[in-house]
Amino acid sequence: MKRVTGIGGIFFKSKDPKVLTDWYASHLGIPLGEHGEVMFKWRGAEPSTEEGVTVWAPFPEDTDYFEPTKAAFMVNYRVDDLDALLEALTAEGVEIDPKRDDSEYGRFAWITDPEGNRIELWEPPKEEQAV
């Protein structure tokens, strides 16, 4: 089973997300989405028809989205089969948050690495994976 297929997003805490995203837009030319996020589009090498995005997004400094950790960042990894991966990780003794989120953006689950960093696992909607 292929586990992680790429980085789906990089999320981090910011004292002032608006000021920070404006700085990145102004000085590095990074185009902002309507919610202050950036969607870096890419095309996979194999198969060459695979398309996807990697999200870059600052969160408010007081966000609870990274809870229960106090880390200032969280990496989101793309996966092909979230259920199979969670089953394998459970068997391996990995700490898995019981929370799940299924939405139009895909399916999400969270795990914690041995140093206490929260990791988001993301199975994109099937139509995006098949593009």
Mean of pLDDT values over 10-24: 91
pLDDT 10s digits, 42-57? 887 776 677 888 999 9
List all residues 6 or more positions away from 65 whose beta carbon is below 8 Å from its beta carbon: 11, 59, 74
Give the helix, strand, coil percentages of the chain, each rounded to 5: 20, 45, 35
Dihedral of the alpha carbons of 60, 62, 63, 64, in degrees to the nearest 10: 170
> In order of start, what are the domains of the chain with their CATH numbers?
4-129 (3.10.180.10)
Kindly tell me if the per-residue pLDDT of 19 is higher than 60: yes
**Cβ distance 121 to 108 under 8 Å?**
yes
pLDDT 10s digits, 67-123? 988 899 999 999 999 999 999 999 999 999 999 999 999 999 999 998 889 999 999
**Cβ distance 58 to 21 under 8 Å?**
yes
Q: What is the pTM of this model?
A: 0.83
Helical H segments across the chain, by residue range:
17-28, 82-91, 126-129
